[in-house]
Amino acid sequence: MNNAEIYQLILEDLSTSVLLLDSDLQLQYINPAAENLLDVSANRVMGTAVSSFFHETEESIQSLRNAVAFNNPFSKRRTKITLSNDKAITVDYTVTPIMSSSGTALLMEIQPLDRLLRIAKEEASVFSNQANKTLIRGLAHEIKNPLGGIRGAAQLLARQLPEEEKEYTQIIIEEADRLRNLVDRMLGPNNLPNMVPASIHEVLERVRVLVEVESSNPIEFIRDYDPSIPDITADRELLIQAILNIVRNAMESLARSDDPSLHPEITLRTRTLRQFTIGTIRHRLVCLIEVIDNGPGINEKLIDSIFFPMISGRANGSGLGLPLSQSILNQHQGSIECDSRPGHTRFSIHLPIQ
């Protein structure tokens, strides 16, 4: 094997995306990693202008021309590029002019960032969830001890009062019980999950039926299921609770909409993902569950904190549903993330398939 063949093999096995452009910014070489990243085929784009499949801004094309004209290398960090299928991705890329007898060529090295940013966001979310649970457990201990004393004292006092004067002691007892239940809800389930094989579609159908019964307004459920997904290992009841909290939020968001032309829709979608990383663990096969509604969306000031306890966009909301869902999914080695804009809010759940 000669040096040229060795270099070719190295380029083809790189995880970094590599493009070679001629002085007219036409593609002369693309490695497999770049084909996957940019969602193109080498046979179709070879010899075409880079702008036909790599859309950033007009200034970026001018930067490439300047690199050719003035032999000027440059780099861009965390920039958004749009592919030919209109999909936007976040990348770092470096452009290096290469001088040869036939003129100046440009070597482009592209590093995708979306996956790294998602993993970093997941790790931060898990750490935040664990810190919140530690804080809540400490507060629960400090709250429940005096609550027990207050409740006991109210009961003793009630025994010494005539029947017509027990109303106020009963209020004290009921409010103490309400606070204790609130703290218990903040702590989430105490028992370890009962992990057994479960059908994710059976879970979703159970959630759909429950929400349809609860909803006072007609909502169209769009079920977009992948029937080939095998059973996952999960606690069925906990998983129903986690997804139910999310779908209920979607239902309530649709009910709050003041758009008279809105046709309320909730989409339940399932897919499989291969070689997908959750946290720090790379899984061979992962189940993706998406809950999508066409409501008004989540306030952009709240979107980064919706998984914190006591954070709610509703005046009468407890702010405990989403943190509880996140806690349950973490117990299943899964993850949850959200993106929202007016007319489209999507919660994406990832669960490993054993």
pLDDT at 231: 93
Return the percentage of the chain with pLDDT > 90, whole number.
24
pLDDT at 321: 76
pLDDT at 350 exceeding the cut of 90: yes
Cα–Cα distance, 27 to 90 (Å, whole number)? 21
Domains in the chain: ranges and CATH? 3-112 (3.30.450.20), 113-187 (no CATH), 192-354 (3.30.565.10)
- Coil vs helix vs strand at 216: coil
Residue 239: band (very low, low, confident or very high) from pLDDT cuts 50, 70, 90: very high
Q: Using the 8-state DSSP alphabet, how is residue 194 labeled? A: -
pLDDT in tens, 84-141: 767 788 889 999 999 877 788 999 999 888 777 777 776 776 676 677 667 767 777 7
Cβ neighbourhood burial of 17 (10 Å; 0-12, 13-18, 19+): buried
Cβ neighbourhood burial of 189 (10 Å; 0-12, 13-18, 19+): middle
pLDDT in tens, 189-205: 666 778 999 999 999 99
Cα–Cα distance, 287 to 3 (Å, whole number)? 44
Q: How far does the chain reach from its first CA to its final CA, in angstroms?
A: 42
Residue 232: band (very low, low, confident or very high) from pLDDT cuts 50, 70, 90: very high
pLDDT in tens, 312-324: 655 555 566 788 8
Mean residue pLDDT across the chain: 83
